Structure 1
Amino acid sequence: MKKLAVLALLASHGIVGLVGFIAGIYVLPILTAPPAPSAAEVAAADDGARFSGQFRRDLEGSDALHWGEGTLFVGEQSISFKGELAPGPDYKLYLSPEFVESEEAFEQLKARMVRVGDVNTFDNFQVSLPPDVDPSRYTTAVVWCESFGEFITAARYR
């Protein structure tokens, strides 16, 4: 009887520890995120945008924990987003020559994509374009979780 009680106690504590770890992975990026660009900053970037596109929740690779929704603005020097992303760790913004909407499609095209930079905010973001990146050579912006290999969202902008 004592063995059963010890096993039950270990199992319950293990489950609580696992739930706490998973909650920490979800909450930590929210707590450590820098302030998001204001609506005015995004609007200023919107005025100089060459292209725009929409992140949508209903993409094949998106789900309840991995999604984005809003408008993307692609300019000469930066890419801005007005909307929301599901919070998560280690988000990267890529430009792709073709539209992708799943992990499999992303992995197949990753060698032909260019990584633009880090996405550290979940309500609006702004990422500077590296000087050697011409966004007109690509058609799609993709938000990807590098740590877990998860597709978050994509927007075709041209």
Structure 2
Amino acid sequence: MSTTTVEELVDEDIFREAMGNICTPVAVVTARDSRGQPYGTTVSAFCSLSLAPPMILIALDRGSGLLSVVRESGVFGVNILSTDAEDAGKKFARKGKGDFTSTEWHWHDGVPRLASNTFFRCTTAGLLDGGDHVIVTGLVHAVGLGEGAPLTYHQRTFGTHAAVSGTPGR
């Protein structure tokens, strides 16, 4: 029987396929660049990190222009899209600053807030190397709660959460 060693890593394509089997919220991270312009990108790595203090975690590609903006400004927003915002999820997934011209948004304490289900305004608490990404931890200073169902991404398809029968709600 063979044992996997640290040197033996799984094939990148298999890893990508396995990760596609995990349902994730569609989140758009936003910030304000040094010229006062909005900047945003869709991310697949977002989660709660801590309750005391309230913190979240995101991962940004090393080549992302947004990473430079977040490093410089130290402030960012995380917009969890609702099911009616699939177009925004796709538009912000493209390279560049994000398409704010055809997306409903406003400034919220210095960061762009999209018309989204839930919103977090954060200051950067730390940056950690994570392969081809940088893990950004954020202290949460403001939260906007939404009422709609969150947009999710699973097996390269947008969808939403559905409760399993018999599971208690809120």
Same structural fold, with TM-score higher than 0.5 when normalized by the shorter chain: no
How high is the TM-score relative to the length of structure 1?
Answer: 0.32
The structure with the largest alpha-carbon Rg is 1
Structure with more of its chain in helix, by fraction: 1
Structure with more of its chain in strand, by fraction: 2
How high is the TM-score relative to the length of structure 2?
Answer: 0.31
